Copies of this chain bind each other. A is one copy, B any other.
C-alpha cells in the first residue's frame, strides 16, 4: 500500500503568482482546478446571503486547498492572496480523469484526504485545551520524536503560535514558564521534553 505518483500528479499544474489582495477565484466561478500553495498565504472566504463574510480557511505553504472543487460545479468561496503568493493549479478534469483511471492513484488521494481529516481533528482537539501552557505542551508532545522526546522546529514560533490559535507573546510566555518549571528544555533549534527530573 505505497503512495503512487500522486505527488507527481500534484506537481503537474501551472504555477501562478498572486499579489496581495488578488483573487484566485470567486464564489460562484466554475470549479476548474484544485490548488497547492507553493509559497505565501491565501484566505478562503465565503459570502453569506446577508452580505457578511466568514473566513473558511487560511492556506499556507505546502497545503492543498479547494479539493472539494473536484466534486462541485462551482467554487463555494473566494480565494484571496493575503501576501504575495505562488500557487500551483491542478486542472480538475485531468486530475479526475487520472484518479478514475488508476485505482491506486485514487487510494493514494483518499489516504491524503483521510490524513487531512486526522490532522484537522487533532488541531481542533488541541484548541479544546484552554490553557496556553497546556496547549503548547500538548502540541510539543504531539510533535515529539525520539527518546528523550524532542521537537526540532522547522518553522518560526510565530507560525507555531498561529497554528495553536495564540499570539506569539502568549507562546513565548508559556515556553518560558514551561522551561522555568522544568517541563521542557530549549536547545537552540529545538525543544527537549520531559528532561531528567533528577538534576
Contacts and interface: CB of A to CB of B under 8 A. Distances in A.
Interface string A107-145: 101110111111011111101110000100010011010
A13 B93 CA distance: 33
A14 interface: no
Contacts of A114: 67-68, 70-71, 113
A174 to B, nearest CB: 15
Given A71-B114, A101-B103, A120 B125 contact: no
Interface residues of A, number: 55
A52 interface: yes
A165 B138 CA distance: 17
A121 B52 contact: no
Nearest to A147: B49
A114 B120 CA distance: 12
A136 to B, nearest CB: 12
A106 B96 CA distance: 11
A104 interface: yes
A191 to B, nearest CB: 13
A110 B113 contact: yes
A117 B118 contact: no
A156 to B, nearest CB: 18
A39 to B, nearest CB: 20
